[in-house]
Chain A
Amino acid sequence: MNALKQFGLGILWALLFPILLVIYALIGVFGLFNFFYQFVLMIVHFFQGKSLFPPLEEDVKAAEILQKRNHPEEQQPAPAPAPAPAQVYVQQNYYQMPPGYPPGAYPPGAFGPQNPGAVPPPYPSGIPQQNPYPNQNNPANPEGPAPLLGQNPDNGGDEQ
């Protein structure tokens, strides 16, 4: 019975087919105009820097609403990140000094290897000009001071 019904509907549609063909022909002519119109629109979008067919405003709104509805957790503001632990870098400005130099004096070579004999600035008055440890090396390094950067320890601390 269903097959007969389908058959009958098929015949009906087939009888309507010539009318449909006329409509399709009109749509075909419209399609040519639509083709050129959309093509020009596409070129305009291209030179505006957009995508060739940017989404409609309605689509964007709908996408936002659906996004909020489907993923509500993504819409909550993210918790503020915990403050990073403060890092304090302590730089120890302690120079390995050869014996006989007062504390606070400039180490040998402080004025550059090109000026080995440069005279350090005068020690400020009012401060004892005497080394409190005249005959001692650095207790942390009893073998003597470490060679400075740019000095060869085997060569008596001279420049290489």
Chain B
Amino acid sequence: MMTFASISLSETDKRALIIFLILAVIVLLLVALIGFAVRKAITFQMKTLDTMMHDVTVTHVVENPKEFKRVGRIKNNRLFYKQSLIPFLIALVGLVIWIITSLAKSNWGINPFEESKDLLFAYDMEEEGLFVTVFGIRLLSHWPNVAHTPEFILEHLPSYLEAICFIVAGIYYLVICQAYFSRYIMILRRSRTVFEKSLEGYNATQGTEAPTNPENK
């Protein structure tokens, strides 16, 4: 038993605290990395919008924020459609495999995600003494025992393919939605900034009379 600042920690508590700290750091790092990636992706997609709207803006074909938003929205929707073709096609492939498998097995209740768990580890989370309570927080006391090791079952092959197709299509579509949202934000931002006029540092008297009327000098 170790005593630290009038708090006594047992060996189990000490181990749990260390695990908690390590997990907290890992989670924080992962969260920061995800956030960083999201921010980078948004910035990249915003530049795409600039490319799309550059010509019509610099040639003054679009001359007010309303027109800018209208043209930007049409282009953004078109690009969204074109980009979403790929994930929809991938999902369609998964759907076709699922339909063929269901027809072949005469079973329309196949859950490809459930059958795909064959390929993953499974842990026994019901084990006694797995969780401990430290400072009122329920934490893992040790790594749980493995309840299932990955195995490949040939009969479940269509389900594996379907699950992969659906997961890839879903993530792809999510990224595309994120890109669409980023471009939309940029449309709103640029429609304000591109056409804004500033009077900062401008003096009407000096600006109009001083250069043209030499008697004022």
Which A residues are closer than 8 A to B by beta carbons?
6-7, 9-17, 20, 23-25, 27-28, 31, 34-35, 38-39, 53, 56, 58-59, 61-63, 65-66
B20 at the interface (CB under 8 A from A): no
Q: Which residues of A contact B77 (CB under 8 A)?
A: 34, 38
Contact of B174 among A11, A12, A24, A66 (CB under 8 A): A24
Which B residues are closer than 8 A to A by beta carbons?
28, 31-36, 38-39, 55-56, 59, 61-62, 67, 71, 74-75, 77-78, 80-82, 84, 88, 173-174, 176-178, 180-181
Contact of A31 among B39, B61, B75, B80 (CB under 8 A): B80
CB distance from A56 to the nearest CB of B (A): 7
B81 x A14 contact (CB < 8 A): no
- Known A17-B34, A62-B59; 15 more pairs at CB < 8 Å: A7-B36, A11-B28, A11-B31, A14-B38, A16-B35, A28-B173, A28-B177, A31-B80, A31-B84, A34-B84, A35-B81, A38-B77, A58-B61, A58-B62, A61-B56
Given known A58-B61, A62-B61, A66-B59, contact A53–B181 (CB-CB < 8 A): no
Q: How far is the CA of A28 from the CA of B91 in the complex (A)?
A: 14
Q: Which residues of A contact B28 (CB under 8 A)?
A: 11
Q: Which residues of A contact B59 (CB under 8 A)?
A: 61-62, 65-66
CB distance from B70 to the nearest CB of A (A): 9
CB distance from A118 to the nearest CB of B (A): 80
Query: Nearest 7 A-B pairs (CB), nearest first?
Result: A13-B35, A14-B35, A10-B32, A10-B35, A38-B81, A10-B36, A14-B31
Q: Which residues of A contact B71 (CB under 8 A)?
A: 56, 58
Identity of the chain B residue whose Cβ is nearest the Cβ of A26 in the assembled complex:
B177
CB distance from A71 to the nearest CB of B (A): 15
A35 x B88 contact (CB < 8 A): yes
Contact of A24 among B35, B55, B67, B178 (CB under 8 A): B178
Given known A31-B84, A34-B77, A58-B56, contact A12–B35 (CB-CB < 8 A): yes
Q: How far is the CA of A63 from the CA of B213 in the complex (A)?
A: 42
Identity of the chain A residue whose Cβ is nearest the Cβ of B88 in the assembled complex:
A35
Q: Which residues of B contact A58 (CB under 8 A)?
A: 56, 61-62, 67, 71
Q: Which residues of B contact A25 (CB under 8 A)?
A: 177
CB distance from B95 to the nearest CB of A (A): 14
B181 x A23 contact (CB < 8 A): yes
Contact of A28 among B31, B62, B174 (CB under 8 A): B174
A6 x B81 contact (CB < 8 A): no
Q: How far is the CA of A124 from the CA of B176 in the complex (A)?
A: 97
A63 x B177 contact (CB < 8 A): no
Q: How far is the CA of A7 from the CA of B34 in the complex (A)?
A: 10
B178 x A20 contact (CB < 8 A): yes
Given known A12-B35, A31-B84, contact A59–B177 (CB-CB < 8 A): no
CB distance from B184 to the nearest CB of A (A): 8
Q: Which residues of B contact A61 (CB under 8 A)?
A: 56, 59, 61
Q: Which residues of B contact A39 (CB under 8 A)?
A: 81
A66 x B34 contact (CB < 8 A): no
Q: How far is the CA of A59 from the CA of B56 in the complex (A)?
A: 6
Contact of B33 among A10, A28, A59 (CB under 8 A): A10
Given known A34-B81, A58-B71, contact A66–B55 (CB-CB < 8 A): yes
Q: How far is the CA of A127 from the CA of B38 in the complex (A)?
A: 109
Q: Which residues of A contact B35 (CB under 8 A)?
A: 9-17
Given known A24-B181, A31-B177, A62-B61, contact A13–B56 (CB-CB < 8 A): no
Contact of B78 among A23, A28, A38, A63 (CB under 8 A): A38
